[in-house]
Amino acid sequence: MTTEPPKFHVHAIAAEVLARVRTSGVDVSGNPVVPVRADGDEPLRCCLRNARPGEALILFGYEPPIGASPYREIGAVFAHAEPCAGAGEAYPPAWRGRRQVLRAYDARGWIVDAVVHEGVDPEREIARLFANPAAVQLHSRNVAYGCFMFTVTRDNR
């Protein structure tokens, strides 16, 4: 008997978080949001693709929501300076083949597993991490800089 791998949803930074940062001009730590002009290839956490040269971006500190946990982190992320179309819920097509770290977090916000994958078959690694029933969300992170890329949750329907 074969079982189908668990379905999942990929989440960019929430639109309401982006709106708050764009409107207030400060990040989660109270630091000013920095407007930048894209060189190109900056990973955008609003629409989960790389920036094109010349696009208007913001750089700000972001804290992925995992609850009150010793593993909470704040890191720099790029997003469009103005609202964009956002992202779908599938693995970002533009980032296939991009080496990433996937960290699995439990309900307490503690890391229960992690893997470095090459981006060739991310669904396999996501399914493997979600095979652990304690894993409630995954975070994709940049290998070189360690910064947050996106969240993955199970499809519990």
Segment 97-124 shows an average pLDDT of 95
With 60 as the cut, is the pLDDT of residue 6 above it? no
155 pLDDT band (50/70/90 cuts)?
confident
Segment 119-146 shows an average pLDDT of 95
Count of other CB atoms within 10 angstroms of residue 97:
9
State the distance between the two ends of the chain, measured CA to CA, in whole angstroms.
22
∠ at Cα 9 (8, 10), nearest 5°?
125
pTM, to two decimals = 0.92
With 70 as the cut, is the pLDDT of residue 98 above it? yes
Structure tokens at 95: 């980032």
Enumerate the domain spans of the chain: 11-80, 89-154
pLDDT of residue 34: 98
Q: What letter would DSSP give residue 133? A: T
